[in-house]
Structure 1
Amino acid sequence: MKKNTKNGRTVTTAGNEEQKREIAGIVLMLAALFFIGALLSFHSEDESLLAHLAWNDISSSAAKDAAGSIGNPFGLLGARLSAFFIRSFFGYPAILPGIALLFWGWSLFRQKSLKPALLFFLYMLFMAVDVAAMFGLTSMEFSDYMAGTIGRMLAAMLSTLIGYTGAWVLLAAAGVITSFYMSRGLGAMFSDTSRSVLEELRKPLGVLSAWREARRKKRSESARLKEDRRLQREEKKRLKRDPQVAPSQSSDPEGSAPFYSDPYPAFRDEAVRLDEPFPGESTPLPSAASVRQEGVAGEPEMTISAGIHEKEADLDERRLKVKTKDREPYRFPSIDLLERVPDDDNRIDEHHLTESKRKLLEKLNIYKIDVVRISTTVGPRVTLFEMELAPDVKVSRVKSLENDLAMALAARGIRIIAPIPGKNAVGVEIPNGKPKTVWLRSVLQVEKFKNSTLTLPIVLGKTIANEVFIADLATMPHLLIAGATGAGKSVCINVIISSLLYACSPDKVKFVMIDPKRVELFHYQQLRNHFLVRFPGIDEQIITDPQKAVYALKCVVKEMELRYECLEKAGVRNIGDYNRRLPEEAMPYLVVVIDELADLMITAGREVEEPIIRIAQLARAVGIHLIVATQRPSVDVITGIIKANFPSRIAFQVASRVDSRTILDGSGAEQLLGNGDMLFQPSDQPKALRIQGPFVSSGEVEAITTFIGAQHALKNMFVLPVPDQQQKGNGSAIGGMQDRDGRDSMFEDAARLVVMHQQASVSLLQRRLRLGFSRAARVMDQLEYNGIVSEADGSKPREVLVNNEDSLELLLRNLG
């Protein structure tokens, strides 16, 4: 347990809070079990023994005599509880709230949300009252024990008001209707609980079945080896008796196959299976992750690699509810908001691999290219053939055969890696016959993401080896995404943002979203009270207008400059050191997402390029990171200066090799398959990685944003500073601090307009006075400085401080 002391106060870490919840859960479960056991052990004879004892009498001789005579095994306390709840309360139905308390304790112990437990408790309490009242309407012998005093009282009251039959109908209808509406939420809740319990019970059964299978295979192999040794001994004896006779050509009765010893026949002629050897065996079984496949004579044998099997993890088992700086609780989205992954048998089509290998070798033999060894790795959409060439073969010869190999294999998207970095091999990537979809839930529901220590973890997808690839946006430090229309850029942006929403709280990261296409990022409008920043003088938080985008980027530049001043005063070099030194003043990371750079470059040009370059060059140390996407990867959009400051890039399918060179400084993107197939160029590796991006639907994104947007809004919103305005020809000065000579020529008209309408906004000045956005924003700053309108308060409209035109004219004369 760790504690940090600051300003004389002790701040307990999150681990201590979790420990307290676990202890409270255990105590509550024990109390619930005691309560249920006491009620089930009720004895009517115990009431007479306890009648003459006071509640607080536990040490007298009479109490000791009574304790020795009562029939309830839970002692005096158990006897009193059972007598009170069964006689004076609900009767035996009081056990139902006790079961709810047991589940409440289990939720505390497992760090689950307490909202379902509270809902379940209220439901069970209502059902206890309802059942008790039903038994109160009956005259059976045991009805007193099943109704209690409250049940009898409710039954008498209802039968008097609406009659005996009406009381039965009302109570039955109330129970059925309540159970019907509660079954939806409670069904999902208990299905998750039962699933987790079954998974825990299935683990020892899986170990037992694996051990039995391993023993069966070992006995089978031992019997086969013994039979082979027996046949070999008989062959040797026969040769000693008659040396002139040639050795037998067959060891089987039919004599149809040459004798050989195959110790692992189970791995022949069937798909690869992910079996693991049972620990402790003297002769472990071979791993199916690397299986040799024999070919015809003269051909190199092929090794099939099944890739990496990621360890799954329940993302909802982590601490989901956290406190923010303004003490508003925030809850991370549940993994159940994402669609469940369809079942996949993970089988490999060996027939397709064999045919691809045969065609590949036939084509290479035509050009006298000898292959010594081949190994294959099967990914979600492509298969990588790693070929070790003969020593006298030039790599350039294989590289020049890209189109010939594509024609021989009758497949599009053949990509040659010559050579594979760090290996003595050439790689050929061939599309799979049956591609598999990678779902966002499958890449988030892994141990690697759950226990990630990265600052800003983003999941990009799965590699060819089926490994979930997670990158850190904080170390990139900026990301450029480019590709043709429909190749998967917008889905990739949704995946990146969703990864950050599942990994980071609102105190850790904020978003600046610029969407010139207007339809790609509108789902994230529901994050306005938690993750989206606000701009001074602008009502929108997702920018769609190009001129407002320039203003928003300048606000980010100003925020960058102010952060550097804070770092300078604190004597630290980056935002990580600053947040560790001053946790009370910690700055959030700022992620700027631009979904279509080409539209901004066409409409704004130099105005938008300048702040992007400044942010890309300087903002890494202060925690501001850019994610820029474009569907037009040309040199007039991705300029040399922009590309130089984006060392990490993602290329989706493009139309030509020229576009691929513009993005990656090399070819390869023109051979991609689309639908999320990407090449990721990390900043620390020489060549790009082939990754299959996960798919997330708009419905899943909407479910995530709706869940976050439904929570309590943060009180202290993050507002970017007003940017410095450069000196213009009309005399406007810096930052809105103007004197009479510096006021805009439209200042007085704007003042009269806002006073007449009694509302003030930049968009109003744009529409009525036909001003550009930047000029209208400067005029609004001048109105604020001269006391005509109030300061900006996030997305709320400004207040007009002058009530009528006469007061305004007086104010304007005084200003003059």
Structure 2
Amino acid sequence: MKTKRENKSSATNVRSRDKLLKELSGIALMLSALFLISAILSFHPDDEALFGTLAWSDISSPLSRDVAESIHNPFGLLGARLSAFFIRSFLGYPAFLPGLALFYWGWSLLRFKSLKPALLFFLYSVIMAIDIAAMSGLTATPHSDVMAGAIGRMIAAMLSTLIGLTGAWVLLGVVAVGASFYMGRSIVSALQELLFSLNTVLARPFNAVRAWFDERRKKKEENDRLKAAKNQQKKKPPEKYSKKTDRKPTDSESEPFRSVPQEMDFDTASSVLPSFPEEPSVTEPDKGLPAGEPEMIIRKVVHEKEANLDERSLKVQTKDRVPYRFPSIDLLERGPDDDEEIDERQLAESKRKLLEKLSIYKIQVVRISTTVGPRVTLFEMELAPDVKVARVKSLENDLAMALAARGIRIIAPIPGKNAVGVEIPNGKPKTVWLRSVLQVERFKNSRLILPIVLGKTIANEVYIDDLTAMPHLLIAGATGAGKSVAINVIITSLLYACTPDKVKFVLIDPKRVELFHYQYLKNHFLVRFPGIEEQIITDPQKAVYALKCVEKEMEQRYERLEKAGVRNIGDYNRRFPAEFLPYLVVVVDELADLMITAGREVEEPITRIAQLARAVGIHLIVATQRPSVDIITGIIKANFPSRIAFQVASRVDSRTILDGSGAEQLLGNGDMLYQPVSLPKAIRIQGPYVSAQEVEAITTFIGGQHALNNMYVLPAGDMQKGNGLSSSGYQEKDGLDSMFADAARLVVMHQQASASLLQRRLRLGFSRASRVMDQLEFNGIVSRGDGSKPREVLINNEDSLELLLRNLND
């Protein structure tokens, strides 16, 4: 049996373990609460675009490290994810209130207090957080989303629907007042106890610091007293002694050798000992600095000659003699007057920091000049002959830290110049408006076939390129970086420069919301597809069919060029103006969605069109927000020599687009790197801004004009190649599908005809249903498709249909 001493010892050990466990739990809970509160309060909306495509399994990959460098939240990827979850998907910023309650809970465990007040405070904080989030969801302020969160908006919507907006405010106010009144006393007393405990704990180090300062002050007063006594002793007259050898030395003679009292400390002794003048130190000159600091030359920006586009001939005759009028430039917004003042103080400060950092690494700059652009400033530095360019390139991160700026890019060297370029963001960026880049002399009098405006360079020069010379364009970048705006700018440029006879568009929009404004162009600029009612393609399977139709159009155009004995569409149109072939611009706004859903079926026609379609006037503009190798495959990338890269999340994405880094340092909002065919390195351009209201105004103006008599219809695409239809029951007999008779009876019985009806009732795929619809049209059962209007059934009864079917079988 255990003795009483042993039982007491074991009980003491158990209590000690419990006490240690509570202390550790309290500390862990307090640290977790502090981290959670700090992460929530450090929320940054731009972080969601950076880690949105990063899976939790990639937390240790190089991609996550690249993303972490761009995160604004000081608590890294975990802090950014937690803040985005609590702000967007939970209760918004009021979610930090339960975090305070968790901190108080941990404090109670650490101090071995009762957990009842902590639990009460936790319930109160949760109720108040939900109440504040719901109140924020009832408002329409710009910050209501981050203050309400998903739960707050849901509760606000439910209450405003059930009891109205006023009733919701009253109910939430009553809940807040009632919870505060019912729990107020306990909460206030608990908070007072917490503050008192914190004050007691925090007062200890402050008291220790205060005591140390008091001790230092006393020592200083003692030193001052000793110095005053010494000075008083110096003022006494010296005593006279005989000229004997045993004379007493004077104070001045004995002063340097006077002993230090034992009770003095080192500081007091040092004040008593005499001070001798120090010899001046000789420092060698810094060999890394040039003999004289180079003078900075500020280059003048380009002033484009303005021109009024409305002064040209706006009204023209189309090929089918229907008049067409170009949209007026007044449909675009006029931006504020451009302030051309240059902040020379900021330039001088940036130059000083730049040269100072380079001098640390012994990099000598001989000459420096600057060019101030809309959003970035280019510093062109001519280096000493013995400086290697690679040394400057390796200092990109060090220069960014020295200048305290994001988006610094080093061009080493600048193509065609004996200089290295450093691009630094401006303190006050300027917005480039689409009207300002279209209303210039170069665009008005452009001789380019398909001129598109990309924006302004750093030298403030409007950059215009010809789509026929590209001949295809690949656009990539993160969400919100400016891809959709760039597509709107390109299409708008073509609408201001070309007539409906010259150019036609094939618009594929898997996101369904980016290109719907262009539906007003259906009677002028949009092509039509056999068997498809809509002219802006949003379904991935219909997108495959649309690309197959473009591929078929390309093959037929090559046959026409072969018969005419010409090499390209330009020669053909000059030789046969009556048979003018319009240029075809295929726009795909999100390639990633098509590659995920259709994969190989999309890649094959895109690759074939990109390889062959230039000579026949068909050009591709493809955009994607996922610049990964599984989306931008090697075959697609090889056939798109012209590329635009907007801001991306990592250096890997930049290499995927441009075969080099740089896009990860862009600033967003239209800041782009354009890699043309003719230049070895990318050009930094600030893309112009065009709003959705401006695009809608332009397309509405065009759509309100008389429709063209002859719509441009593409040939039906051959869907039998490489899509597995032969193994799914698709067979023809005498040129007709095996489901032709059933489809004819179905449309006659319902007196309506559409490909979707055949898909639902006969369980056919989209391509096969479209093919059957074409056969019904060819045999006179249904009318020709007219855009979005339903087809007309030409057979009125089933008896007439059976007669027609017997004749076809015979």
TM-score by length of 1: 0.62
Q: Is the 8 A contact 1:478 1:626 kept in 2?
A: yes
Pairs within 5 Å for 1:187-586: 298-586=292-580
Q: Report what 2:30 is aligned to.
A: none
1:694 aligns with 2:688: yes
Match of 1:773 among 761, 766, 770: 766
Structure 2 unaligned residues grouped into runs of 5+:
1-288
CA distance in 2, matches of 1:581, 1:745: 45
Bigger mean CA deviation after superposition, 763-772 or 593-602: 763-772
Q: Is the 8 A contact 1:373 1:388 kept in 2?
A: yes
Question: 2:391 is matched by which residue type in structure 1?
Answer: R
Match of 2:601 among 604, 607, 610: 607
CA distance in 1, matches of 2:631, 2:587: 16
Match of 1:762 among 735, 755, 766: 755
Q: Report what 1:158 is aligned to.
A: none
Q: Secondary structure at the match of 2:387?
A: coil
Q: Is the 8 A contact 1:533 1:720 kept in 2?
A: yes
Q: Which has the higher contact order (CA 8 A, sep 6+)?
A: 2
**CA-to-aligned-CA distance 1:513-565 (integer Å, 9 cap, x gap):** 00000000000000111101111111101000001111111111111111111
Q: Report what 1:802 is aligned to.
A: 795
Structure 1 unaligned residues grouped into runs of 5+:
1-294
Q: Secondary structure at the match of 2:415?
A: coil
Question: 2:727 is matched by which residue type in structure 1?
Answer: G
Q: Report what 1:148 is aligned to.
A: none
Question: 1:778 is matched by which residue type in structure 2?
Answer: R
CA distance in 2, matches of 1:718, 1:653: 37
CA distance in 2, matches of 1:335, 1:782: 46
CA distance in 2, matches of 1:632, 1:363: 36
Q: Is the 8 A contact 1:732 1:743 kept in 2?
A: no
Quote how far apart the aligned CAs of 1:444 are: 0.5
Q: Is the 8 A contact 2:377 2:425 kept in 1?
A: yes
Q: Is the 8 A contact 1:719 1:794 kept in 2?
A: no
Q: Is the 8 A contact 1:731 1:743 kept in 2?
A: no
CA distance in 1, matches of 2:728, 2:689: 51
Residue 786 to residue 584, structure 1, CA distance change in 2 (3 Å): closer
Match of 1:783 among 772, 776, 781: 776
Question: 1:608 is matched by which residue type in structure 2?
Answer: V
**CA-to-aligned-CA distance 1:580-632 (integer Å, 9 cap, x gap):** 11111111100000000000000010111111011100000010000000000
Quote how far apart the aligned CAs of 1:451 are: 0.6
Q: Report what 2:5 is aligned to.
A: none
Q: Report what 1:729 is aligned to.
A: 727
Tell me how large the CA RMSD over aligned residues is.
1.7
Quote how far apart the aligned CAs of 1:507 are: 0.6
Q: Is the 8 A contact 1:536 1:794 kept in 2?
A: no
Residue 786 to residue 447, structure 1, CA distance change in 2 (3 Å): closer
Match of 2:618 among 624, 642, 646: 624
Quote how far apart the aligned CAs of 1:795 are: 4.7
Quote how far apart the aligned CAs of 1:799 are: 3.0
CA distance in 1, matches of 2:625, 2:615: 29
Q: Report what 2:659 is aligned to.
A: 665
Question: 1:549 is matched by which residue type in structure 2?
Answer: A
**CA-to-aligned-CA distance 1:735-764 (integer Å, 9 cap, x gap):** xxx535x64443333222101111211122
Residue 325 to residue 743, structure 1, CA distance change in 2 (3 Å): closer
Q: Is the 8 A contact 1:380 1:466 kept in 2?
A: yes
Q: Is the 8 A contact 1:717 1:794 kept in 2?
A: no
Q: Is the 8 A contact 1:381 1:436 kept in 2?
A: yes
CA distance in 1, matches of 2:737, 2:564: 39
Q: Is the 8 A contact 1:507 1:588 kept in 2?
A: yes
Question: 2:795 is matched by which residue type in structure 1?
Answer: V
CA distance in 2, matches of 1:793, 1:497: 24
Quote how far apart the aligned CAs of 1:811 are: 3.8
Greater Rg by CA: 2
Match of 2:586 among 588, 592, 606: 592
Pairs within 5 Å for 1:132-171: none
Bigger mean CA deviation after superposition, 565-574 or 404-413: 565-574
CA distance in 1, matches of 2:728, 2:361: 73
Question: 2:750 is matched by which residue type in structure 1?
Answer: H
Q: Is the 8 A contact 2:379 2:421 kept in 1?
A: yes
Question: 2:633 is matched by which residue type in structure 1?
Answer: T
**CA-to-aligned-CA distance 1:630-689 (integer Å, 9 cap, x gap):** 000000100000000000000000000000000000000000000000000001110000
Q: Secondary structure at the match of 2:374?
A: coil
Quote how far apart the aligned CAs of 1:427 are: 0.4
Quote how far apart the aligned CAs of 1:508 are: 0.5
Quote how far apart the aligned CAs of 1:789 are: 2.7
Q: Is the 8 A contact 1:731 1:744 kept in 2?
A: no
1:647 aligns with 2:641: yes
Q: Report what 1:75 is aligned to.
A: none
Quote how far apart the aligned CAs of 1:409 are: 0.1
**CA-to-aligned-CA distance 1:692-716 (integer Å, 9 cap, x gap):** 0000011111111111111111111
Q: Is the 8 A contact 2:647 2:668 kept in 1?
A: yes
Q: Secondary structure at the match of 1:423?
A: coil
**CA-to-aligned-CA distance 1:267-314 (integer Å, 9 cap, x gap):** xxxxxxxxxxxxxxxxxxxxxxxxxxxx99821110001211111111
**CA-to-aligned-CA distance 1:122-166 (integer Å, 9 cap, x gap):** xxxxxxxxxxxxxxxxxxxxxxxxxxxxxxxxxxxxxxxxxxxxx
CA distance in 2, matches of 1:716, 1:680: 37
Q: Report what 1:15 is aligned to.
A: none
Question: 1:334 is matched by which residue type in structure 2?
Answer: S
Question: 1:769 is matched by which residue type in structure 2?
Answer: L
**CA-to-aligned-CA distance 1:301-340 (integer Å, 9 cap, x gap):** 1000121111111111111110001111111011111111
Question: 1:523 is matched by which residue type in structure 2?
Answer: H
Quote how far apart the aligned CAs of 1:791 are: 4.1
Residue 338 to residue 477, structure 1, CA distance change in 2 (3 Å): same
1:753 aligns with 2:746: yes
Q: Is the 8 A contact 2:753 2:790 kept in 1?
A: yes
Quote how far apart the aligned CAs of 1:798 are: 3.0
Q: Secondary structure at the match of 1:622?
A: coil
Quote how far apart the aligned CAs of 1:690 are: 0.2
Q: Is the 8 A contact 1:482 1:629 kept in 2?
A: yes
How many residue pairs align between the two structures?
Answer: 517
1:709 aligns with 2:703: yes
CA distance in 2, matches of 1:790, 1:315: 42
Q: Secondary structure at the match of 1:620?
A: coil
Quote how far apart the aligned CAs of 1:808 are: 2.8
Quote how far apart the aligned CAs of 1:341 are: 2.2
Q: Report what 1:170 is aligned to.
A: none
CA distance in 2, matches of 1:743, 1:562: 23
